[in-house]
Structure 1
């Protein structure tokens, strides 16, 4: 290969020494020969990186729950209940988009694509998540409208338009801002020799919930106060969103780094929403019987889902770089399991210090709660391993498909196990539904 041809190959992100044939085909839909270099990281360094990122993610979730406790008293939340219904659906769907973006970009970073290919990766992924986010905004709004309409049989076009416009504008703006932040975090982490697989998905979860909730509250409140009975502004927002979807989708479809993600990303996101909804039904039952469940549900579900997402992201990167899966099973699983107890204790005592829950933090409560958290993470890590391996064998990119299922299963398992834990506490305790108050 002469110098000119080699230079052109680098410019087009097609360096022949970068990837194996199967890996490159999964990432860019092209065939290239193998020669991937990936340095094996120190387990203790990885543990520190993951634990710090989990703490940030956990405190982000606590902050989001405290913010929700404040904004739920705003006029728009009181007068339009659909906004409150919209919160879990939009946060769950949007969170999956940010976390899959973080997983994809972490894989590219570990495969050395952030040099010559950075611009192409940024444009393709920002257009991809913009397309996905606007559609997710529509989907979440329709779910909120339906859930608000079915029980009473009443439909208000003004409220429906406000919900849809608020959801679409929030999803679009949050995706653009968070997408840029996540790409920046991954680029900087590689320059600092930090493995982005260890920190990107928890940070995405931490920033995603807080940012999306803050934007949704502010945008819906502004629209509610300025609209009156006019449908002009919501209609304009919805029309612009409808234009963005095909425009951004076309750009993403023409980008070899995002074509497969555009094709594969929809089923996992929607399926994850269905699984999470099942967890919501369980949560509704448990909260009605045990008031103390609510505040701990956010933490146990979030931490469990984040750990499974990190496990899947690291395993996906190892498959993409042609390494043995035994390494991630023997090391990452142990590290993540070791983080469960200290991490959960920090958040439990933080909640107790802030007096945010209804439950007294007693030794028996901590024992049963931590056992539930350990079992949840253990099951999620096993599921994560087999799910990623299965997707890889089917020719699916786990970076695009695994995380929505894992976070949804984290919600389902966490809610169910937390309900069982509170049932046990109630059975052996003082028969008080608040379990201590």
Structure 2
């Protein structure tokens, strides 16, 4: 599969995100516990923290021959899956704590029942989505190896494609179900949270038995937790923006801009990492990456991956145009596709990916130079930064459009009190 084809696959998750998120933002749980929106970027970020990191690690293992032996292959798979479940449970719990701190405590509002529901929804969603996606990823990696396809071009995009769909659907279903039980069976949320948390020791024991995952069990928390916190800040921006009825349409475009940006930069980071594993010893970088970083190096340098950076950047505008038109046809975006809106939106999306590709080039080589495996450390940071940049740029775009008068009739009334489009 060529890079352009594999990158195109990454957009499939955006279609499903639109279908999943649009009706669910009007469900009772999302209306009365808006802090759930803070969870959305953090939980969607799990695909970067866990799934796409797993895909990148196993893809590199395939390319360097570490999965040729059946015993070694299954040791890698079982250990990494168990490690992923531990990380998913802990990150899900911490994401809920962050949502409570960022959403309620600054305003002096706190309801224990809602906090428990938030925690249960987050932990259950993270656990179930991680397990399902992990199984899918193992199948993709093993299938790619058997068919001779480079998993760097396939595994990461597919991990991203299924990630948003599965996570959003599970989060919406669980949170709404627990909300309906809140009055009649208030203890259900606590039981759900306790059940998944009690499984954590089992996964720790399994992952600690495999050398490949034992090291990451103790040292791999920094990027995962830091990325979750970065994504939660993006979630706070989303929550505050969605709370403004004039800007409510942002909720549909958030998974689009975040999904595409995170997917594209993850492909590039995975390719960088594989190239370094093949051609450089840990701590050493290619000649073109030595010295101070400068942005032009990413796109016009003499390195092996500058062409892929050009292709990924060129995919941004046509990809977003397709999904903007899809949202328009589905009448789910709450925003008329005016030329001004499209220009501002596409400028924000292009700037996001441009920054991410430059950051990926600098970050992957810096981590390799410092002795860290970029397969495990870079992608969580990059996808979290993608969520933060995408949400922030999108919020600024919507605010800018509102200020200049490019407002939408089904988002807020006009200046004269009518619903005419300005």
TM range (shorter): 0.7 to 0.9
The answer as to whether partners of 2:42 and 2:229 remain within 8 angstroms in 1 is no
Provide the residue aligned with 1:275 in structure 2: 230
Shift of 1:212: 1.6
Provide the residue aligned with 1:434 in structure 2: 408
The answer as to whether partners of 1:290 and 1:434 remain within 8 angstroms in 2 is no
Which deviates further from its counterpart, 104-113 or 152-161?
152-161
Provide the residue aligned with 2:323 in structure 1: 347
Please list, as runs of the form range in 1=range in 2, the aligned pairs for 1:34-73 lying within 5 A after superposition. Answer: 45-56=1-12, 60-73=13-26
Corresponding pairs, count:
388
Provide the residue aligned with 1:182 in structure 2: 137
The answer as to whether partners of 1:94 and 1:133 remain within 8 angstroms in 2 is no
- Cα-Cα RMSD: 2.9
Indicate the SS of the match to 2:305: helix
The answer as to whether partners of 1:170 and 1:215 remain within 8 angstroms in 2 is yes
Provide the residue aligned with 1:29 in structure 2: none
Task: Label 1:240 to 1:295 Cα distance change in 2 as closer, same or farther (>3 A).
Answer: closer
Please list, as runs of the form range in 1=range in 2, the aligned pairs for 1:61-210 lying within 5 A after superposition. Answer: 61-93=14-46, 95-116=48-69, 117-150=72-105, 153-210=108-165
The correspondence for 2:309, drawn from 323, 333, 357, is 333
Runs of 5+ consecutive residues of structure 2 not aligned to the other structure: 281-285, 290-301, 410-420
Runs of 5+ consecutive residues of structure 1 not aligned to the other structure: 1-44
Matches of 1:80 and 1:422, distance apart in 2: 23
The answer as to whether partners of 2:4 and 2:311 remain within 8 angstroms in 1 is no
Indicate the SS of the match to 1:356: coil
Which protein is bigger by CA-based radius of gyration?
A: 1
Shift of 1:108: 1.4
The correspondence for 2:337, drawn from 322, 342, 361, is 361
Provide the residue aligned with 1:298 in structure 2: 255
Shift of 1:314: 1.0
Shift of 1:63: 2.0
Matches of 2:47 and 2:206, distance apart in 1: 20
Which deviates further from its counterpart, 106-115 or 73-82?
73-82
Shift of 1:122: 1.5
Shift of 1:346: 1.1
Shift of 1:388: 0.5
Matches of 1:417 and 1:348, distance apart in 2: 16
Task: Label 1:362 to 1:204 Cα distance change in 2 as closer, same or farther (>3 A).
Answer: same
